[in-house]
């Protein structure tokens, strides 16, 4: 059957939003491989930011992640933070995308994250041997980029102004949630002392 999104489909925000919302497992039936080849790093980061927006709209922390195969540029995993939605003390944008991709060899893949990875996500990124991480926001948070480079992960900064604005808005609205999510409950308690 012909794919719904083909190599001739223009790369628009609306199409990227559909891809963000579709289950990853359904993508091969709906999106032609040649469409993925057309997507630039900026386009993939937009998908991650649209996932961050989805989380924000659900009342959660606005951080999204997308994992692509370096050769085919096909999306093999994606997700967003669900600390609030799932009442899960640890489901970050990156871990959500990694869980979606499953237990596999990530050494020929790139993970896009809308926010600079926290200590735990950064550790997971090098422990699972990702070849590259693309970071969409080092304005609101940063710190693990150098460590990742030293561990052999290629780090590219590709800031997305919409994602940066969204995160700054959320932080201003929910500073405690931001701190709990990024630094843990220990940091929240320390700040309250």
Ligand X SMILES: O=c1cc[nH]c(=O)[nH]1
Binding site residues, ligand X, CB under 6 A:
61, 63, 81, 92-94, 115, 117-118, 121, 181-182
Contacts (Cβ under 8 Å, ≥6 apart) of 61: 55, 81, 83, 84, 170, 177, 178, 181
CB of 117 to ligand X, least distance (A): 4
Compute the distance between CA of residue 59 and CA of residue 70 in angstroms, rounded to an integer. 33
| Residue among 24 and 180 whose Cβ is closer to ligand X | 180
CB of 119 to ligand X, least distance (A): 9
| Residue among 5 and 20 whose Cβ is closer to ligand X | 20
CB of 55 to ligand X, least distance (A): 9
Place of tokens 């959320």: 170
Report, as residue numbers or ranges, the catalytic residues.
94
| Residue among 46 and 92 whose Cβ is closer to ligand X | 92
Place of tokens 């590259």: 132
CB of 91 to ligand X, least distance (A): 8
Instruction: Give me 166's structure tokens.
Output: 């969204």
Nearest to 121 by CA among 139, 154, 144: 144
| Residue among 15 and 133 whose Cβ is closer to ligand X | 133
Instruction: Detail the DSSP E strand segments found in the chain.
Output: 64-69, 75-80, 109-113, 132-135, 154-157
């Amino acid at each position: 059957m012909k794919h719904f999104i083909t190599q001739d489909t223009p790369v628009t925000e609306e199409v990227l939003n559909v891809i963000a919302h579709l289950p990853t497992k359904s993508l091969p039936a709906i999106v032609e491989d040649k469409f993925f080849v057309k997507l630039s790093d900026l386009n993939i980061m937009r998908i991650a930011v649209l996932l961050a927006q989805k989380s924000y709209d659900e009342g959660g922390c606005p951080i999204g992640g997308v994992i692509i195969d370096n050769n085919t540029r096909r999306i093999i995993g994606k997700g967003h933070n669900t600390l609030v939605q799932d009442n899960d003390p640890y489901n970050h944008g990156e871990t959500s995308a990694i869980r979606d991709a499953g237990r596999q060899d990530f050494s020929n893949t790139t993970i896009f994250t809308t926010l600079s990875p926290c200590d735990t996500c950064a550790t997971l990124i090098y422990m699972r041997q990702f070849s590259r991480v693309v970071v969409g926001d080092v304005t609101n948070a940063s710190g693990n980029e150098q460590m990742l480079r030293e561990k052999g992960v290629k780090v590219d900064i590709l800031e997305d102004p919409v994602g940066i604005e969204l995160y700054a808005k959320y932080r201003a609205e929910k500073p405690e949630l931001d701190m709990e999510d990024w630094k843990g409950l220990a940091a929240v308690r320390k700040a309250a002392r």
